[in-house]
Amino acid sequence: MFTGIVTDIGEVREVEARAEGLTRLTIACGYDPGGIALGASIACSGVCLTVVARGQDGNRAWFAVDAAAETLRLTTVGRWRQDARINLERALKVGDELGGHIVAGHVDGIATLTARENLPDMARLVFRLPADLSRFVAAKGSVAIDGVSLTVNEVADATFSVLIIPHTLAVTTLCALAVGDVANVEVDLMARYAARLLDRR
């Protein structure tokens, strides 16, 4: 589990295609390599991936993860190339501060940025969701975009807007998003379960 509070921005160092649709990605980061356990979960732009190797190259740590065909198909991971910058968050520990909202790292789909307004002290971003996800997003509710916990500002049909404060722009990759870019989206867990209960009725 995660909180949607990004703790580092990593860079993709290598993308290696492997057998049976598996892709191995090596990601440079600012974490202490001694504190990254094999088998640990790290949210990479919102996608929960398992560490299969780690080490250090000069003054920069790195870790490797494997992405299966389903992950490559349903998320932006399949579009990552060398030098791509991605948001990173280590898994939540018992007792940690829950600064954002509960994020599972199970991406629901890909959203497209349809509008961006750079305001004096923040940015207003408008995303279009796949039609089957729009019912899970509500004004003042929570959503994770590329692993960043955000509060929904307005909702209109299959689009929603968020306001990004200067700190979030400075410490995440959202600052670089341009109209037409895509991002991983995870809807709020409670909204998903509430909808499931209503469907069963």
Task: Give the least confident one: 13-22, 86-95, 187-196.
Answer: 187-196
Hey, what domains does the chain have and what are their CATH numbers? 8-90 (2.40.30.20), 109-200 (2.40.30.20)
Distance CA 29, CA 45 (A): 13
Distance CA 162, CA 45 (A): 17
Distance CA 37, CA 53 (A): 9
- In degrees rounded to 5, what are phi and psi of residue 193? -70, -35
pLDDT for res 183: 98
Buried b (16+ CB within 10 A) or exposed e, 150-178: bebeebeebbbbbbbeeebbebbbbeebe
pLDDT in tens, 117-155: 999 889 999 999 998 898 899 899 999 999 999 999 999
pLDDT for res 198: 67
Instruction: Take residue 73 and report the two structure tokens written for it.
Output: 């198909």
Collapsed DSSP state (helix, strand, coil) of residue 169: helix
pLDDT for res 193: 66
Mean pLDDT throughout 167-174? Answer: 96
Distance CA 127, CA 43 (A): 21
State the sign of the Cα–Cα–Cα–Cα dihedral 41, 42, 47, 49.
Answer: negative
Distance CA 14, CA 76 (A): 16
Active site residues: 2, 41, 48, 50, 68, 106, 151
Collapsed DSSP state (helix, strand, coil) of residue 19: helix
Percentage of the residues of the chain whose pLDDT score is greater than 90: 78
Distance CA 200, CA 39 (A): 36
pTM of the model: 0.93
pLDDT for res 93: 82
